[in-house]
Structure 1
Amino acid sequence: MKRVKKKLFSDFIAQKGLKSTRQRDTILEFFLASDRHMSIEELYLKVRAKHPNIGYATVYRTLKLFAEAGLAREIQFGDGQTRYEHVNEGEHHDHLVCTRCGTIVEFENPVIEKLQDEVALSHGFLIETHKMELYGLCPKCRK
């Protein structure tokens, strides 16, 4: 899967007339290796720990390119920070967000998806895309 995403990104930047750089490749490696919803700052700190020559602006611009290429999705959880998550073709999930510690849990529920489709249909609405975010306290913070 990583190889496919690397090829997709390589094709995308070539199509845009941009150069393939070692820094972009490194940032992509770190992004693909993570299973978290990462902010620019979090990814920058991870990358910088092993590659101190890569700057914040480079990580910022590269993440924007990932989103433009369809490899990443920008998401906001109401805390003023943009986070990025992997985009996998044909996959959809929703989020539970802890308002105290910031934990983010992904979940899938076919019953919820079916209900959303039924509600849309009953209103004559065609859903093109959607997102569901539920905010509250995770089990740790509830203690």
Structure 2
Amino acid sequence: MSKCGSERKNIDIDSLNERVRKAGMKLTQQRTQMLKILLGHPDPISADEIFKKFDDKSDGMDLVTIYRILKKFEEAGLVSRLEFGDGVARFELALESGHHHHHVICRQCQRVEPIHICDLDPHIKMVETMGYKQVSHRLDFFGVCSRCQ
């Protein structure tokens, strides 16, 4: 069952690197640096933004490699892929399996803020009684933030 509203726990690069190893991936300098970028970015971030934050692009790091790593991280449950209807995929660390939060997105400036509330457990249980397993959900709000009003 999906759990909502988890707060960002004290997570460090060592625990993330351990999750990479447990997922059966080789721990490369590129993967470690990408995890550091994701860890240091509190909001969902695009692959382009990740690429701009890379220190050393001389070791073969390019946008294609970033997308490949992100896909591997997503398959391993390390990151969540978020799409807010603007054609840009964004990524954020998945702090713990089954835990997530929702977002509110400004229609004008595209600012994304997390919302740490969720009361959907009764609805999830209802869907499970219909015979569904591994039920998950997404809930995003859109509006105009106070800065853009």
Same fold at TM > 0.5: yes
Q: Give the 3-state SS of the residue equivalent to 2:66 in structure 1.
A: helix
- Percent identity between matched residues is 27
TM-score (norm 1): 0.80
Contact 1:39 1:82 in 2 (8 A): yes
TM-score (norm 2): 0.77
AA aligned to 2:136 is T
Residue number in structure 2 paired with 1:92: 100
Higher Cα Rg, which structure: 1
If each structure's helix is expressed as a fraction of its own residues, which one has the higher value?
1
Residue number in structure 2 paired with 1:28: 35
Runs ≥4 in structure 1, deviation > 2 angstroms?
Answer: 118-122, 124-127
* Alignment pair present for 1:121 and 2:126: yes
Contact 1:75 1:83 in 2 (8 A): yes
Give, in angstroms, the shift of residue 118 of structure 1.
Answer: 5.0
Residue number in structure 1 paired with 2:78: 71
Provide the rounded CA distance (Å) in 2 between the counterparts of 1:99 and 1:70.
Answer: 29
AA aligned to 1:4 is S
Give, in angstroms, the shift of residue 108 of structure 1.
Answer: 1.9
Contact 2:124 2:135 in 1 (8 A): no
Q: Give the 3-state SS of the residue equivalent to 2:110 in structure 1.
A: coil
Residue number in structure 2 paired with 1:4: 15
Residue number in structure 1 paired with 2:4: none
Provide the rounded CA distance (Å) in 2 between the counterparts of 1:43 and 1:22.
Answer: 15
Question: Structure 1, residues 103-138: CA drift from partner, whole Å, max 9, x if none?
Answer: 11111225x435xx258639x556811111111101
Give, in angstroms, the shift of residue 91 of structure 1.
Answer: 2.7
Provide the rounded CA distance (Å) in 1 between the counterparts of 2:28 and 2:123.
Answer: 47
Provide the rounded CA distance (Å) in 1 between the counterparts of 2:144 and 2:27.
Answer: 43
Structure showing greater relative contact order (alpha-carbon pairs closer than 8 Å, 6 or more residues apart) = 2
Contact 1:13 1:20 in 2 (8 A): no
Q: Give the 3-state SS of the residue equivalent to 2:148 in structure 1.
A: helix
Query: Where does the alignment leave 5 or more consecutive residues of structure 2 unmatched?
Result: 1-10
Provide the rounded CA distance (Å) in 2 between the counterparts of 1:82 and 1:29.
Answer: 19
Give, in angstroms, the shift of residue 4 of structure 1.
Answer: 1.7
In the comparison of the two structures, how many residue pairs are matched?
A: 133
AA aligned to 1:131 is R
**CA RMSD of superposed structures (Å):** 2.3
Residue number in structure 1 paired with 2:68: 61
